[in-house]
Amino acid sequence: MAQNDSTDFDLQYIKGIGPKRALVLSEYGINTLYDLINFFPRKYVDRSNIVDLNALIPEQEVTVIGKIEAAGVRRMRRQIFYIVISDGKGLLEAVWFNSINYFKKIFKIGEWVSLSGKVSYYRGFQLVHPDYDRLGQGEIDNLFNTGKILPFYPGSDVFKRAGINSHIFRKVFYHIIQNDDLMRFSEFFPDLLLSKRNFLNRTEAYRQIHNPDSNDLLDKAVYRFKYEDFYYLQLMFALQRAHLKSKPAGISFINKSERLARLYNNLPFKMTEAQKRVVKEIRNDMKQSSPMNRLLQGDVGSGKTLVAIMAMLIALDNGYQAALMVPTEILAEQHFLNISKLLQPLNVKVSLLTGSTKAKQRNQLKEELNLNQPHIVIGTHALIQDTVGFGKLGLAVIDEQHRFGVAQRGRLSEKGSNPDILVMTATPIPRTLALTVYGSLDVSIIDEMPPDRKSITTVWRFDNKADKIYEFIRERLKAGQQAYIVYPLVEESEKLDLKAAAEGCEFLSKNPFKDFRVGLMHGRMKADEKEETMKLFVKNKIHILVSTTVIEVGVDVANATIMLIEHAERFGLSQLHQLRGRIGRGEKKSYCILKTPYNIGDISQQRIKIMTETQDGFIIAEKDLKLRGWGDLFGVKQSGMPDFRLANPIFDRTILEQAREDAFEIVQSDPLLRKAEHQGLNNYMQKHFKERMNLINIS
């Protein structure tokens, strides 16, 4: 039987489309029936949820429907565009304060509209700037008389210019789903899965998503498509894993690491249980012949570096080299100093390679790395330059991995022959999301902080409280403690920021803190200047470090107990969390002050509130995701993540877990998807995820 998952059918021959519209659709990326049927509504209006206009209650969020009875411009203190709608039971006014000419053009008396917004009261009920959808004239009978659920499709400029709106999409889809020849989509889920999850069959699900018969059926269709979104991805992860595991090209680090034991026995503190567990997981992976691909998640200050050091010692004691790549020079330098010190008694060769390593040193280091000798090298992007070669790279560790692109991470691992890979991140993400974003990696989590950490009190203050804040900071400084004062970095203009931070520094050192030493650090300083400043701060020769976000990662000064963040509203949540992680590192109580102007946006307010409520990086990351959307955070397109039609890994985690469980189960029972009952699935994946499936290399 012919199936319609392909390019077979020329869209222009579908009723309601024609050659012109087909062209517009193709401009939007809809070229085939398959593309079109997977273009889903963005929302639905259901008659049963519509509030009658005589039953409105102030402050309620509502969707209403009515016919436009009047429309025009009123001049109050400023111009207002208004419409009055009626549904036969009552009247309601909606107003807009801007884009007046535009609204004048689009709203026509006699047409039906649906409006959504909060009911307010101003000489009668009103909606101010409601969301609106124009319903045209004919369809409304349909909605009212048959109780249909009306789908609304995503608009785009391309569509608007061509006059393609939801109304037209509804007509087109109505024709498609009436046509049995078109509505023939092969079922690729095996029967067992269909009954396990009680799915609508595929064709029926498409029917219901575009033209729902009831809320219940719509929910079922939505469920199936969300599940599908996750399933494809998890299936590929499962296949990738099965494939990787069966390719024993990596290194087995079987020797016990004598240096690791010595380090462990001489630590100045006790490792947390979480650290021990994670080291064990890594050690196990490293023993295997297949290359380790592990993500280590742990909140700021949870002690990931030590774990990385231990992994590197394992590589070393097996005769290999290990590299640690970090995103900034200052962090590389700090790691280098700390690690060298820690490993001094163990007789390990530790080197530093950054952009500012002098040519002579660099050349010597390159020669040494080319030799086949155990060696730990710590560095920045400088490590992945073409001219750097490793004689025997066994382990590549990438710290703060979110700061690197996929390609950069790959390049480091290509410096060896299938070395083990450990990527570390202090931007923890919830498990389900990790499964989506890093599904082919194994994940270790340090979910416990060292016990000596004091909690940090975080407060939000407006700019008019500056004097009080300075007074508070002075008191701490007099007691011998230190402070960070952070200015935001605006990406468009590094110069301006610098100006803000430099002027801030100037003002602070002359006025509220004239009795103290104030140092300035910013991204444009040379590495040795930064290091010099940092050293002075470490020695408490500088009492206040004014900086842009360059101190964001890694820096460790236990005596710094205060962080004042200027214009905190300009920072992202995870940035704020990272910054705050610089304090609370010692015995003394720490304070983080988030300072903002009085008037800041809604989302900024929420971010700042979250910071004052919790210190748990996992919770913060999750809330951040909810505020920002996960696609935004991970740059869905550029990271090669599929663009989900409906699924959202944050809100739909139960479905994600189900899809993952089922996908891994199938691959376990049939790693090449060769069984008859999996043939459909295999074909479907080969067809629609060709590139990725080729990488996995099954057919």
The reply on whether position 269 binds ligand ADP by CB under 6 A is: yes
Give me the least distance between CB of 335 and ligand ADP, in Å please: 8
- Backbone φ, ψ for residue 641 (5° rounding): -80, 145
Q: How far apart (Å, rounded) are the C-alpha atoms in residues 150 and 113?
A: 12
Both structure tokens of 582: 């610089």
Give me the least distance between CB of 11 and ligand ADP, in Å please: 53
Q: For residue 100, what is the DSSP state?
A: H
User: Which residue lies nearer to ligand ADP by CB, 259 or 304?
Assistant: 304
User: Which residue lies nearer to ligand ADP by CB, 269 or 507?
Assistant: 269
Return the residue nearest ligand ADP (CB atom): 303
User: Which residue lies nearer to ligand ADP by CB, 11 or 300?
Assistant: 300
Q: How far apart (Å, rounded) are the C-alpha atoms in residues 193 and 344?
A: 57
Distance of CA 523 to the CA centre of its chain: 25
Give me the least distance between CB of 304 and ligand ADP, in Å please: 3
Binding segment for ligand ADP (CB under 6 A), chosen from 108-116, 164-172, 271-279, 403-411, is: 271-279
Binding mask 431-470 for ligand ADP (x = CB under 6 A): -------------------x-x------------------
- Give the strand pairing for 131-136 and 112-121: antiparallel
User: Which residue lies nearer to ligand ADP by CB, 301 or 512?
Assistant: 301
CB atoms within 10 A of CB 670: 16
Helix (H) and strand (E) counts in the chain: 26, 21
Enumerate residues 283-302 that contact ligand ADP by CB under 6 A: 298, 300-302
- 196: Cβ contacts below 8 Å, ≥ 6 apart: 662
User: Which residue lies nearer to ligand ADP by CB, 113 or 325?
Assistant: 325
Binding mask 170-189 for ligand ADP (x = CB under 6 A): --------------------
The reply on whether position 102 binds ligand ADP by CB under 6 A is: no
Give me the least distance between CB of 549 and ligand ADP, in Å please: 16
User: Which residue lies nearer to ligand ADP by CB, 71 or 306?
Assistant: 306
- Backbone φ, ψ for residue 358 (5° rounding): -65, 150
Give me the least distance between CB of 699 and ligand ADP, in Å please: 42
User: Which residue lies nearer to ligand ADP by CB, 190 or 303?
Assistant: 303
Note the helical H segments in 420-572: 431-437, 466-478, 494-510, 527-538
Q: How far apart (Å, rounded) are the C-alpha atoms in residues 623 and 398?
A: 26
User: Which residue lies nearer to ligand ADP by CB, 4 or 427?
Assistant: 427
Beta-sheet strands, E only, within 5-130: 43-46, 61-75, 79-86, 91-96, 112-121, 125-128
Burial class (CB in 10 A: 0-12, 13-18, 19+), 353: buried
Give me the least distance between CB of 601 and ligand ADP, in Å please: 30
Burial class (CB in 10 A: 0-12, 13-18, 19+), 398: buried
Listed residue (295, 237, 227) closest to 648, CA to CA: 227
Partners of 263 in the β-ladder? none
* Strands across the sheet containing 482-486: 456-462, 590-596, 560-565, 482-486, 544-547, 518-521
The reply on whether position 334 binds ligand ADP by CB under 6 A is: no
The reply on whether position 234 binds ligand ADP by CB under 6 A is: no
Listed residue (603, 650, 660) closest to 630, CA to CA: 650
User: Which residue lies nearer to ligand ADP by CB, 65 or 300?
Assistant: 300
User: Which residue lies nearer to ligand ADP by CB, 254 or 267?
Assistant: 267
One of 272, 318, 351, 561 touching ligand ADP (CB under 6 A) = 272
Give me the least distance between CB of 539 and ligand ADP, in Å please: 17
Enumerate residues 539-568 that contact ligand ADP by CB under 6 A: 556
Q: Is the dihedral of CA 607, 610, 614, 617 positive or negative?
A: negative
Binding mask 634-653 for ligand ADP (x = CB under 6 A): --------------------
User: Which residue lies nearer to ligand ADP by CB, 64 or 309?
Assistant: 309
User: Which residue lies nearer to ligand ADP by CB, 272 or 432?
Assistant: 272
User: Which residue lies nearer to ligand ADP by CB, 233 or 279?
Assistant: 279
Q: How far apart (Å, rounded) are the C-alpha atoms in residues 350 and 4?
A: 60
User: Which residue lies nearer to ligand ADP by CB, 391 or 450?
Assistant: 450
User: Which stretch of DSSP H or E encloses residue 48?
Assistant: none
CB atoms within 10 A of CB 252: 12
Q: How far apart (Å, rounded) are the C-alpha atoms in residues 126 and 103?
A: 17
Q: How far apart (Å, rounded) are the C-alpha atoms in residues 652 and 677?
A: 28
Dmax over CA atoms of the chain, in Å, equals: 88
Angle at 509 between CA 506 and CA 513, to 5 degrees: 150
Listed residue (412, 420, 368) closest to 394, CA to CA: 420
User: Which residue lies nearer to ligand ADP by CB, 419 or 554?
Assistant: 554
Binding segment for ligand ADP (CB under 6 A), chosen from 203-211, 270-278, 286-294, 375-383, is: 270-278
Cα separation values, 353 from 307, 331, 384, 445, Å: 21, 12, 10, 29
Distance of CA 503 to the CA centre of its chain: 34
One of 32, 126, 166, 305 touching ligand ADP (CB under 6 A) = 305
Number of chain positions touching ligand ADP (CB under 6 A): 17
The reply on whether position 304 binds ligand ADP by CB under 6 A is: yes
User: Which residue lies nearer to ligand ADP by CB, 36 or 326?
Assistant: 326
What SS3 state is found at 215?
helix
Q: How far apart (Å, rounded) are the C-alpha atoms in residues 94 and 120?
A: 10
User: Which residue lies nearer to ligand ADP by CB, 17 or 310?
Assistant: 310
Tokens 């889920």 map to which residue?
A: 189
Give me the least distance between CB of 259 and ligand ADP, in Å please: 17
Give me the least distance between CB of 592 and ligand ADP, in Å please: 16
Q: How far apart (Å, rounded) are the C-alpha atoms in residues 341 and 536?
A: 19
Give me the least distance between CB of 431 and ligand ADP, in Å please: 18
Give me the least distance between CB of 32 and ligand ADP, in Å please: 48
One of 65, 209, 218, 306 touching ligand ADP (CB under 6 A) = 306
Contact call for residues 63 and 116 (beta carbons, < 8 A)? yes
Binding segment for ligand ADP (CB under 6 A), chosen from 143-151, 225-233, 266-274, 278-286, is: 266-274
One of 271, 466, 636, 698 touching ligand ADP (CB under 6 A) = 271
The reply on whether position 100 binds ligand ADP by CB under 6 A is: no
The reply on whether position 303 binds ligand ADP by CB under 6 A is: yes
Give me the least distance between CB of 446 and ligand ADP, in Å please: 7
Q: Contact positions toward ligand ADP, by CB under 6 A? A: 269-272, 275, 298, 300-306, 426, 450, 452, 556
